[in-house]
Structure 1
Amino acid sequence: MTAAPPVPLDELPTPALLIDRPRMEANLTAMAASIGAAGVALRPHFKTSKCVAVARRQLAHGAIGFTCATPAEVALLQDAAVEDVLWAHQPVGPAKVAFAVQALSRGGLTIALDSLEVAEPLSAAAAAGVEVPFVLEVDTGLHRAGVDPDRAVKTAAELTALPALELRGVLTHEGHLAAHGTDRAGLEAAGDLAGRTLVQVAEALRAEGHACPLVSVGSTPGATSAPFAEGVTEARPGTYVYFDANQVGLGSAQTGQCAQTVLTRVTSTQRPGTAIVDAGIKAMSSDSIATAGILGIVCDAAGTPLPGLEFTNANEEHGYLTGPGTADLRVGDLLRIIPNHACGTTNMWSTLYFVDGDQATDRHPIEARY
């Protein structure tokens, strides 16, 4: 159902994925103001929500378009008439190349590339008349995708020599900032360095005659640093729309800003020191890279963290809460869990509920899932 009448949380089946609407709106307002203060455009990553209703709220708060990770996300947004989409994942293999050409033919799509090996099949497939606007992905420290900064000019020359390819700018994802953990000063310095490194690459490309209007950084931890490097033109945070336990651990948010929770009930208190809930790994993210070191932060039904409870282990349909706080739990108690990673949790669900206070006010589909 869409736009369902208000339903008390206590009447929802558990587990259920909840989005606290006031917290989400506050997050959208705050990020729009911060990125606006940096003087750059905001292009959120769509993978955090995979929900068109959420995307429309981000557009209402000034987003210029979206970043996508998968073909399904690109298609969903194009079908929703979003006119500016960046696909920040290399289209490798016949199926993705064919999809890229089809999606490019609809207009409004830019592709991220980082090598001749990735670009050549796309160029060959698009040579019949489809232009391929692309950004060169640059590695500023994550060591995942992206060309090394000192090889960027050479790689750009190779790619722009191919038919159909048109360089629009440079892109990086400063995901390595999470390695700084609770060292917020170190994280901020690393984010600033990532932004400045990308700007230097853009300047080197311009010096060789390449147009480079787009200088795009992207992460929620880096949103207070990388976009403020002079010369950056856009930021692509994703998790900020909901935040999560990981971002709390990194100092990017407080628990009171976390809009995404999993509603769950206590199902067993048979063993002292342990309580079982009906939210297991199929309801949560078990992302091993999350700095939180937990599956989530345990809260009461109002979303306030409960002391003395840890959520560190789960089976498919069972979550194990431990600690002295379990002595106060009873079978049937309603709890909410702030997940360790919002994006991974989203991908486990097909629907979400917008929540205001103790009422679920709307239900919306989550699409483009694996």
Structure 2
Amino acid sequence: MVQHQQPWYTVNGVEELDSPALLLYPDRVKKNIATLIEMAGGVERLRPHVKTSKSADACQLMLDAGISKFKCATIAEAEMLATIGAPDVLLAYQPVGPKIDRLIQLTLTYTNTRFSCLIDNEAALAAIALATAAAKALAVGDGSTNSLEQPLNIYIDLNVGMNRTGIPPGDEAFNLYMAAREMKGIKPVGLHAYDGHIHDASLSTRKERSAAAFEPVYKLLERIGEQVEDYPELITGGTPSFPYHLEEGRAICSPGTFVYWDKAYLEKFTEQPFLLAAIILTRVVSKPGPNLLCLDLGHKSIAAENELARRVGFLNDTNLQPVSQSEEHMVVTSADADRYKVGDAMYALAYHICPSVALYREATLIIDHKVAGVWKTTARDRRITL
């Protein structure tokens, strides 16, 4: 008798789980972390971005695996990392307005974590330096033991073609780095560049484009290195480009999506052996017409920034095609729709997992096809305590 292996994603007793629900497979998360470390030849050149999981539990697995440096996008993500004892946290964002004070409060509250941030202009640089120096003076004046004993590390944010933040890697960036060295309360330690615009399916094309984009960055590194006693770090290499940066050898790499993976990267970056580790449970809630199924998978349940055809796939029926989506509903079509009944569970795979995860306050853990607990999406909100 032929034994049919149960698909990895299915859940025994799925009828007991409400939907839509984010399902996580922690054994696969651990495997992805191990794969990343193996690809990098160790943890020294890794600074994973935690914006995909926003989970203290997922980040704890990275800490347990020996990763000590992290990158994040929000104050809440930075605080989440500090609460689990992450030693080194880069806020990959230029803080302005109240975010400056919030970042300073983080440094005063979580003294065992070394925080840093990005800057790309003189006004922001001066504001951060002034606020940091003022906070240090205040802490010393009132006898606080949580004084800013060390300056706040900063990285110059470079624009290498993404055209989102940063400045070109040339004279302006060099002068900004040198100006930062003269200010109290801060210390420039390196350069940061996000190259998310380089996402060709061909690895060789990605490598060629990365080499061209980073040639002026390497020249800037050498120029600064000739003037300072501490050679600056370079942080770059999101998921699409980090294989190039690992091979090139100069950058500390910061992929993020690897931890859960998603349909877009699975299809596009076939050279990267990461496993799908997060899916969305949805159900048929209505059959509104011939060959049509309505699922409880609306805009509030899965990232909707892509065109409709590139928002979701279905692991247990690859023939389903979305035809419409609203806040709480998604209508799909299938010539085989008659085989489904209202209440049937579907296992959906997000094209973009990062914003999809942020739609859920918690994720249900699945181990050996069984529900095994939950992980909170710790930094889903913009504020934890600070």
User: Please, what TM-score do these two structures have when normalized by structure 2?
Assistant: 0.85
Match of 2:371, SS? strand
Shift of 1:185: 2.8
Shift of 1:137: 1.3
Any unmatched runs of 5+ in structure 1?
1-5, 301-305
Are 2:74 and 1:70 aligned? yes
| 2:176 matched residue in structure 1 | 155
Which of 95, 103, 108 is 2:106 aligned to? 103
CA contact (8 A) 1:32 1:62 kept: no
**Bigger mean CA offset, 129-138 vs 193-202:** 193-202
Write the mapping of 1:211-226 to structure 2, written as runs, cut at 5 A. 211-226=230-245
| 2:18 matched residue in structure 1 | 13
Q: For 1:278 and 1:177, how far apart are their aligned partners in 2?
A: 34
Q: For residues 102 and 8 of structure 1, do their structure 2 counterparts lie closer, same or farther at Cα, with a shift above 3 Å needed?
A: same
CA contact (8 A) 2:50 2:256 kept: yes
**Bigger mean CA offset, 168-177 vs 267-276:** 267-276
Q: For 1:284 and 1:253, how far apart are their aligned partners in 2?
A: 26
| 1:188 matched residue in structure 2 | 207
Are 2:359 and 1:359 aligned? no
CA contact (8 A) 1:298 1:311 kept: no
Shift of 1:58: 1.5
| 1:140 matched residue in structure 2 | 160
| 2:90 matched residue in structure 1 | 86
Shift of 1:327: 4.2
Shift of 1:201: 2.3
Shift of 1:249: 3.4
Which of 312, 334, 342 is 1:296 aligned to? 312
Q: For 1:79 and 1:15, how far apart are their aligned partners in 2?
A: 29
User: Please, what TM-score do these two structures have when normalized by structure 1?
Assistant: 0.88
Q: For 1:193 and 1:19, how far apart are their aligned partners in 2?
A: 38
The superposition leaves residues 25-60 of structure 1 with CA deviations (integer Å, 9 ceiling, x where unpaired) of: 2211111100127x8521111111111111111122
CA contact (8 A) 1:278 1:317 kept: yes
| 2:119 matched residue in structure 1 | 113
| Counterpart amino acid of residue 17 in structure 1 | L
| Counterpart amino acid of residue 162 in structure 1 | M
**Bigger mean CA offset, 245-254 vs 163-172:** 245-254
| 1:303 matched residue in structure 2 | none
Which of 312, 336, 341 is 1:330 aligned to? 341
Any unmatched runs of 5+ in structure 2?
1-10, 137-147, 382-386
| 2:221 matched residue in structure 1 | 202
Which of 279, 290, 303 is 1:261 aligned to? 279
Q: For 1:326 and 1:256, how far apart are their aligned partners in 2?
A: 32
Match of 1:355, SS? strand
Q: For 2:315 and 2:67, how far apart are their aligned partners in 1?
A: 31
| Counterpart amino acid of residue 337 in structure 1 | A
Shift of 1:324: 2.9
Which of 51, 61, 67 is 2:65 aligned to? 61
Q: For 2:204 and 2:309, how far apart are their aligned partners in 1?
A: 21
| 2:248 matched residue in structure 1 | 229
The superposition leaves residues 324-362 of structure 1 with CA deviations (integer Å, 9 ceiling, x where unpaired) of: 343433222111111121110111110001212421212
Q: CA RMSD in A?
A: 2.4
| Counterpart amino acid of residue 117 in structure 1 | A
State percent identity of aligned pairs: 24
Q: For 2:102 and 2:274, how far apart are their aligned partners in 1?
A: 40
| 2:269 matched residue in structure 1 | 251
Match of 1:270, SS? coil
Question: Which consecutive segments of 4 or more residues in structure 1 shift more than 6 A?
Answer: 253-256
Q: For 1:255 and 1:211, how far apart are their aligned partners in 2?
A: 36
The superposition leaves residues 111-166 of structure 1 with CA deviations (integer Å, 9 ceiling, x where unpaired) of: 11111121111111111333221111111221111110113212212222322221
Q: For residues 81 and 7 of structure 1, do their structure 2 counterparts lie closer, same or farther at Cα, with a shift above 3 Å needed?
A: farther
CA contact (8 A) 2:224 2:232 kept: no
Q: For 1:261 and 1:255, how far apart are their aligned partners in 2?
A: 18
Match of 1:208, SS? coil
Match of 2:314, SS? strand
- Structure number with larger C-alpha Rg: 2
Are 2:132 and 1:126 aligned? yes
Match of 1:324, SS? coil
Q: For 1:335 and 1:253, how far apart are their aligned partners in 2?
A: 28
Which of 17, 34, 42 is 2:39 aligned to? 34
Q: Count matched residues.
A: 353
Shift of 1:253: 6.9
Q: For 1:197 and 1:323, how far apart are their aligned partners in 2?
A: 51
